[in-house]
Amino acid sequence: MAEIAIPKPVNGFSFGNWERHGAAIVTGLCLMFIGLAWWAGKSEMRGLEISLYILAYVIGGYQKAKEGLETLFKEKQLDVDLLMVVAAIGAASIGYWMDGAVLIFIFSLSGALEGYTMERTNKAIQSIMKLRPEEAVLFKSGTEQKVKVEDLKKGDVIIVRPGDRIAADGIIIDGYSAINQASITGEAIPVDKAKGDEVFSGTINGQGALQIEVSKPIEETMLAKIIHLVQEAQNEKPPTQLFVERFEGIYAKFVVITAVLLMTLPHFMLNWTWSETIYRAMIFLVVASPCALVSSIMPAMLSGISNAAKKGILFKGGVHLENIGSVKAVAFDKTGTLTSGKPKVMDVLPLQNITETELLRLAASIETLSQHPIAKAIVQAATEKNIPLERPKELQAIHGLGVHGSLNSVEYKIGKQEILKDIIIPTEHLQKADELEAQGKTVIFVAANQQLIGLLSIQDTIRPQAKKVIDDLKAMGIKVALLTGDSKTTGNAIGKQAGIDEVYAELLPEQKVEAVRKLESKYGKVAMVGDGVNDAPALATAAVGIAMGSGGTDVAMETADVILMADNIENIPFAISLGRHTNRVVKQNVVFAIAVALTLVTLNFIGGVINLPKGVVGHEGSTVLVILSGLRLLR
């Protein structure tokens, strides 16, 4: 990628400063020339007065006039910029030079304030761009060298020293440290990471030196995806904004036609002077322009998106922030969403003359060579209790049922009940297994030399915060449902633990779609929360799809409209509340903008109590106020 030359500052001022402060400088110059023109008028220097006013008009109104004309000729649309400039020129044409100049000045000031306000709105989002390091320390052939991050390839090994920002997504191959992942996941507390753990570009290394094997090219890192999603969010406009923009074009034409009629009809119908008629028409052009209405929505939406991003919630666009505020029901996937996705051993029940420890040792020893999630859970339970394990012999996996192997010349079988079809199991043991399954647990049978010696129960544990999340959603008047591919027994057990009454179980991916549609017809807009490939169709079908960003699959994240970067489902009530608040602020802004415009139009023609400067202050003031109102959502 070619380097971009940055212009050097001239006398302490750079092009970057001009881009940021140019509007304010132009506004200041405009005000200065208006002041000089007023002084020239007081001094009865008419020629100089008019010349200075013209300078104020040109300096303050050039950019807006250019933008308005480009919109007119290129897009065949009238916009508020052109209306303002025409109103100012109209005022000057009938001798109201000062009034027209004040209009230009306040319009220019309003534009400068809008620019600073929008910069404040976008600053939190744009700061994400600065998280990506520019260089990395590549470790190759025993030597270290600094390279550009863009040059890193999958499989490269980089060194990250204490306090450095991690340059790429990867897996730790040596070292131990606590990683500050707040920039990616929103977690305030650093997370301990060791060999084999995944780390993300843009996060900050703690106290330990790390060697990291790069797992993704720079354009596919989690940070790159976040930046891409944020850019999409900034560019995608919600339906309300699109409607207002379409309305603006039609409304601007109506204002122009009405203004033309008002330049003539009152003279003949109300016996106004030509000067009064044209002046009032110019005021109408100003106060009836939809500036405040146009500014009622996007600043609020961008503020809401920015606020959510700081908490690890990524909205892919304003439309999704608007939609989530109207959600009436939330459907949760079970595994990996409502639960942790990591099965644990819950019960160890020896059925012969052995201890719980011995039963767990035997089962874990047989399972040490298996990669099945249930096998890993059994081994993990033994490891946590510091139980020494042995390696089995002649281990064989029986697909879908379990494993069998030998240990110290004893043959063991571990798995579902079907793996023990040649063994007679006492009725009381089968009843105990049924009791465990009724609690939503998976029962594992352990047999030695054709005799049942114990039962283990495995369960994917519910997330600690799940119950509170469900309670919070219910308190907000939102219906909650559980969608799972597991059995009805397991689904109902998890639903009961979480406080969910509406459970849909034994669902294939296409059946999850049907369940979402059923909920939608029953309650209204539905948000679907999921993490797996099998959830993607339901995420796409729902009014709002919410994916788990840390543990979720790429397919789920691509399909979803909202991403929870730290898998923090406790942020779902906040996201819905933020959406509701955003919609309220937008409605308040729209009502306020319309009310101010109607009031000013009425005051202009009933009694004529406002002049052009007052109309400008009222109109532009309302524009700034609705933008500042939108900024409330940054809190």
171 contacts: CB under 8 Å, gap ≥ 6: 196, 197, 198, 199, 212, 213, 215
Cα separation, 38 vs 279, whole angstroms? 20
The verdict on whether 156 is a catalytic residue reads no
Q: Which of 156, 169, 333, 561 is catalytic?
A: 333
Q: Quick one: which H or E segment has residue 358? A: helix 356-367
CA distance 171 to 168: 10
Q: Hey, what amino acid is at 287? A: V
The encoded tokens of residue 16 equal 């970057």
In contact, 124 and 156? CB cutoff 8 Å = no
The encoded tokens of residue 243 equal: 């409607």
- Residue found by looking up tokens 């609705």 in the block: 626
CA distance 464 to 335: 14
Cα–Cα separations (whole angstroms), residue 33 to 27, 60, 82, 90, 387:
10, 10, 22, 19, 86
Question: In the structure encoding, which two tokens stand for residue 136, read together?
Answer: 């990395």
**Cβ neighbour number for residue 346 with a 10 Å cutoff:** 17
At 172, which amino acid appears? Answer: I
CB neighbour class for 44 (10 Å; exposed up to 12, middle 13-18, buried from 19)? exposed
Backbone angles phi, psi at 199, to 5 degrees: -130, 160
Give which of 296, 368, 316, 277 is closest to 604, Cα–Cα: 277
Strand partners, 397: 403
DSSP 548-614: ETTTS-HHHHHH-SEEETT--TTHHHHHHHHHHHHHHHHHHHHHHHHHHHHHHHHHHHSS----HHH
Smallest Cα–Cα separation from 622: which of 596, 583, 600, 586? Answer: 596
Cβ–Cβ under 8 Å, residues 240 and 321? no
CA-based nearest residue to 322, from 348, 294, 336, 302: 302
Half-sphere exposure of 20 (CA within 13 A, CB side): 8
Residues serving a catalytic function are 333
